[in-house]
């Protein structure tokens, strides 16, 4: 991390610590994030997030310097989603994935309350189509700390698997993250994915 870059961001944001966090966050992004995504990821007010996004739009250095993020195993995905582990409300995000198993983009589909959130399958696959993704990974957090899937989680994942077959987009995994660990649906129940490969 270049000292000069930190100084420039600190001038804009008024805090060296926030500047370092913002730079680290932008460096993980394959595209410029939205104000909402930035506010959620860094737990900052919308005005601060707007400053960060505006600065990113003025310079593509973060995009040019960033490396492709591999999502070839759940550990890597969970590391990328570390900001969700201690979130106080439930978030549902979709990761759009290229054919080489690298991340294309991260989209926040919904934000709910401490014990749930609602999202429509059409929203998830719309992001996949827009990003021309080969596959998707769905992830959500459990603010309670319980890292396991609920019956509703299983039902929703099953619906997404079926929808993916119709859309010819591979549903790669569903992951629950929490401050007490994580759970991968593909690891827990691989049978659900045996026929989950587009033609």
Question: In which residue are the tokens 């929490």 written?
Answer: 178
pLDDT confidence of residue 169: 93
pLDDT confidence of residue 197: 46
Q: For domain 74-193, give the CATH number.
A: 3.40.140.10
Domain ranges of the chain: 3-65, 74-193
pLDDT confidence of residue 43: 93
Nearest CA to 146 out of 74, 81, 90, 83 is that of 90
Q: How far apart are CA 96 and CA 26, in angstroms?
A: 17
CA angle 115, 173, 92 (to 5 degrees): 30
> pLDDT, tens digit, for every residue of 98-115?
999 998 988 988 876 544
Residue 32, judged by CB atoms within 10 A of its CB (0-12, 13-18, 19+), counts as: middle
pLDDT confidence of residue 194: 73
**List of the chain residues with pLDDT < 70:** 1-3, 30, 59-67, 112-118, 195-199
User: Across the chain, what does the average pLDDT equal?
Assistant: 83
pLDDT confidence of residue 128: 93
Instruction: Give, in order, the Cα–Cα distances in Å from 185 to each of 75, 83, 92, 98, 158.
Output: 13, 20, 15, 20, 11
pLDDT confidence of residue 61: 45
Structure tokens at 85: 């582990």
pLDDT confidence of residue 76: 85
């Amino acid at each position: 991390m270049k000292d000069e870059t930190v100084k420039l961001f600190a001038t804009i944001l008024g805090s060296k610590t926030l500047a370092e966090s913002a730079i680290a966050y932008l460096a993980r992004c394959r595209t410029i994030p939205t104000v909402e995504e930035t506010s959620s990821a860094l737990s900052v007010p919308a005005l601060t997030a707007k400053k960060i996004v505006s600065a990113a739009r003025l310079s593509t250095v973060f995009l040019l310097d960033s490396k492709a993020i591999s999502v070839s195993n759940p550990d890597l995905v969970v590391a990328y989603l570390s900001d969700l582990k201690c979130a106080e409300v439930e978030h549902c995000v979709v990761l759009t994935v290229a054919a080489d198993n690298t991340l294309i983009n991260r989209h926040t589909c919904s934000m709910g309350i401490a014990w749930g959130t609602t999202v429509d399958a059409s929203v998830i696959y719309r992001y996949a189509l827009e990003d021309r993704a080969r596959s998707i990974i769905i992830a959500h957090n459990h603010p309670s700390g319980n890292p396991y899937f609920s019956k509703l989680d299983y039902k929703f994942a099953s619906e997404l698997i079926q929808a993916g077959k119709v859309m010819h987009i591979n549903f790669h995994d569903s992951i629950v993250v929490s401050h007490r660990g994580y759970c991968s649906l593909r690891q827990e129940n691989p049978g659900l994915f045996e026929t989950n490969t587009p033609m």
